[in-house]
Structure 1
Amino acid sequence: MAQAAMLQLHPKSGLHLTRLGLGTAPLGGLFAPVSEAEARATLETAWQAGLRYFDTAPQYGNGVAEQRTGGFLQSQPRTAFVLSTKVGRLLRPGPLHKSQLDPKGEPFFKGVPQLAQVYDYSYRGTLVSLEESLERLGLKKVDILYIHDPDADNRSVAEVMQGAYRALLELRQQGVVQAIGVGMNHTDWLLEFAQAGDFDLILLAGRYTLLEQGALQKLLPLCAQKGIGVVVGGVYNSGLLAHPAPGATYNYLPAPPEQIERALALQRVCQRHGVPLKAAAIQFPLGHPAVVSVLTGARSAHELKENLQMFETRLPPSLWHDLVAEGLLAGDVPVPQEA
């Protein structure tokens, strides 16, 4: 069996997640439009490769990614896949929220209905969000429900716990969803949530990568202690580790020079070992025992096939040794072991 399709049981939730999952933000037109045909081909390629964990959200294409993902999964056996979506943003007619716009004032998601994303982490808003997501998906249930980016609207942890978290707890108790979590790209905020609540999973985007491992200090040890599974997204740091060069993006914005130089240094070590930087980047997070799955985003079947190839590329143990020797990884960072 291919490494990407191998199932990993998360004991706390009872879910089996494939080591590689498909993140669907690109299928909602992130940065560039994606046609219905391209989206369908990407989803079909993921399924044929054995990927069975799919992650989506209302934010992704203002509902378009949910519609496309659900439209494909409707024809698959419901017990054969794991699906997650998110709460915290309701889609409504109106002016776009500032978080929907890039520094030039253009929408991040292209070629999709330009609906306003209204931040709502209330108890009632959470229930409405799930109801509307299921309608867009055309499915009766999702397996995992994440609270999405409360930091983007500067909501306090206490407010979110009183509203959205309380709703998620009830939904899990009622068996409406099997697992609950929170997802964002701020390690400190995730740490607060992991300390405050009884979460099954967290989705950590861009903060545990080959480029940066700040989550290793407190967040990942706490998750391991509490049995919280960690799903890692953003393994290429929104592009920098895919194509390190001036003009590359980091955190969805132009990368700072010092980050570009670090990425280039990582690439040089990988080149000495005859492996692509992307292969090391996509495999790296699974070296930590708390990490249960890595999400890969792709806007086309071609991109997904490349990511699959990178995930299956053999990485020599000496690569990790040399990254430590070069000061690009700390000596105590857990790294993937050869199967």
Structure 2
Amino acid sequence: MSAAHTALPRRRLGPTGLLVPEICFGGGPLAGMPAAFGYDVPAERAVETVRHVLRSPAPFLDTAAGYNGGEGERRVGRALAEAGGLPAGAVLSTKVDRDGATGDYSAAQVRRSLEGSLERLGVDRVQLLYLHDPEHITFEEAMAPDGPVRELARIRDEGLAAHIGVAGGPVGLMARYVATGTFEVLLTHNRWTLVDRSADQLIDAARAAGLAVVNAAPFGGGILAKGGAAHGRYAYREADAVVLDRVRRIEAACDHHGVPLAAAALQFSTRDPRIAATVVGVTRPERVADTLRLARWPIPDELWMSLEGLAAPASHWQH
């Protein structure tokens, strides 16, 4: 039996009690967002990819209301409908988003966002619901008694979401949300990778506060899977010369040990005991099995020692 079809051990997702595989498949690229990812994904191919995820040893999907105006959730919903609903043992997370046209991120918008998600996904509740990209409003606005965080907690209290989390970028701001005691899961992205270690202290803080940590975008948007020559963008924008140089040096170290760059980038996250699951975007059905093979690729300790000093300087991290 190949590594791609071997059952993955489940990890406890912190206080949620959910048992999840170490790999979670992300729905951002599947939504068809060329402005963010540099390419489009046809709807039928995306749905077929979701079918493969649901049948894989890692049936864990993450999407969001804001991915291409809800198109990401619609594509996931099509696959779920064909499967007769979420299969036993599968885990689905989505995210409430601000209004893409007006920027509204009020409590009412959180409620509308959830209602749209439930309709598009074809479910009556979700297992895990994140507050998505709260950096677009102030922390004070988010935490107001009549604000979006309180509404998210109310949604959990009503049973429409079993568990809630916060998913965003800036590590200082995310640390403030972690410290509120409201959330069960932190999702950080592009900030704990082979080249960017911005989220190190944030991850420690989340674990100390009892939250589960989900780490997204271990490939930095593609450069740590395809290499600097093939993909010059990190975290959805052009990578600077220092980051590109470090990626090339990381590539060379991997080549020396006969290890695919993508395997090292993925396992940098999955081997971290603080991280419950790692979110990887895929855009083709065959990439599901490919990702699971990368997660099991043998990597010698000597390579990890070589890679330790190759991260970009802190001045070139996302923060």
User: What range is the shorter-chain TM-score in?
Assistant: 0.7 to 0.9
Amino acid at match of 2:205: L
Whether 1:13 aligns to 2:22 is no
Whether 1:311 aligns to 2:311 is no
Amino acid at match of 1:169: A
Whether 1:186 aligns to 2:195 is no
Whether 1:245 aligns to 2:252 is no
Q: Is the 8 A contact 1:297 1:304 kept in 2?
A: no
Distance in 1 (alpha carbons) for counterparts of 2:294 and 2:87: 29
Q: How many residues align?
A: 300
Q: Is the 8 A contact 1:236 1:278 kept in 2?
A: yes
Relative to the length of structure 1, the TM-score reads 0.83
Amino acid at match of 1:66: E
Whether 1:59 aligns to 2:42 is no
Whether 1:161 aligns to 2:168 is no
Q: Is the 8 A contact 2:188 2:214 kept in 1?
A: yes
Q: Does the C-alpha gap of structure 1 residues 287 and 329 become closer, same or farther in structure 2, counting only changes over 3 Å?
A: farther
Q: Is the 8 A contact 1:223 1:290 kept in 2?
A: no
What is the CA-CA distance between 1:279 and the residue it aligns to? Answer: 0.2
Tell me which residue corresponds to 1:43. 50
Distance in 2 (alpha carbons) for counterparts of 1:174 and 1:215: 32
Tell me which residue corresponds to 1:100. none
Tell me which residue corresponds to 1:110. none
Distance in 2 (alpha carbons) for counterparts of 1:185 and 1:307: 24
Tell me which residue corresponds to 1:274. 258
Distance in 1 (alpha carbons) for counterparts of 2:292 and 2:87: 24
- Which stretch shows the higher mean deviation, 13-22 or 34-43? 34-43
Q: Is the 8 A contact 2:179 2:209 kept in 1?
A: no
Whether 1:33 aligns to 2:40 is yes
Q: Does the C-alpha gap of structure 1 residues 256 and 312 become closer, same or farther in structure 2, counting only changes over 3 Å?
A: same
SS of structure 2 residue aligned to 1:235 = coil
Alignment of 1:159-308 (within 5 A): 159-162=141-144, 163-216=147-200, 218-246=201-229, 248-308=232-292
Deviations 1:269-292 (A, max 9, x none): 111111011101011112333211
* Residue 128 of structure 2, aligned match among 144, 147, 150: 144
Amino acid at match of 1:244: G
SS of structure 2 residue aligned to 1:270 = helix
Whether 1:83 aligns to 2:92 is yes
Q: Is the 8 A contact 1:84 1:142 kept in 2?
A: yes
Q: Is the 8 A contact 1:56 1:66 kept in 2?
A: yes
- Which stretch shows the higher mean deviation, 18-27 or 169-178? 169-178
Distance in 1 (alpha carbons) for counterparts of 2:6 and 2:299: 13
SS of structure 1 residue aligned to 2:226 = coil
Tell me which residue corresponds to 1:122. 106
Amino acid at match of 1:27: L
SS of structure 2 residue aligned to 1:199 = coil
Q: Which ranges of structure 1 fall in alignment gaps of 5 or more residues?
A: 91-115, 331-339
Identical counterparts, % of pairs:
31
Distance in 2 (alpha carbons) for counterparts of 1:135 and 1:175: 16
Tell me which residue corresponds to 1:328. 310
Deviations 1:21-51 (A, max 9, x none): 1101111112233223211221122223222
Q: Does the C-alpha gap of structure 1 residues 4 and 198 become closer, same or farther in structure 2, counting only changes over 3 Å?
A: farther
Q: Is the 8 A contact 2:33 2:68 kept in 1?
A: yes
What is the CA-CA distance between 1:243 and the residue it aligns to? Answer: 2.2
Q: Which ranges of structure 2 fall in alignment gaps of 5 or more residues?
A: 313-319
Distance in 2 (alpha carbons) for counterparts of 1:40 and 1:295: 18
What is the CA-CA distance between 1:3 and the residue it aligns to? Answer: 6.9
CA RMSD of aligned residues (A): 2.0
SS of structure 2 residue aligned to 1:196 = coil
SS of structure 1 residue aligned to 2:227 = coil
Q: Does the C-alpha gap of structure 1 residues 169 and 128 become closer, same or farther in structure 2, counting only changes over 3 Å?
A: same
Distance in 2 (alpha carbons) for counterparts of 1:242 and 1:135: 34
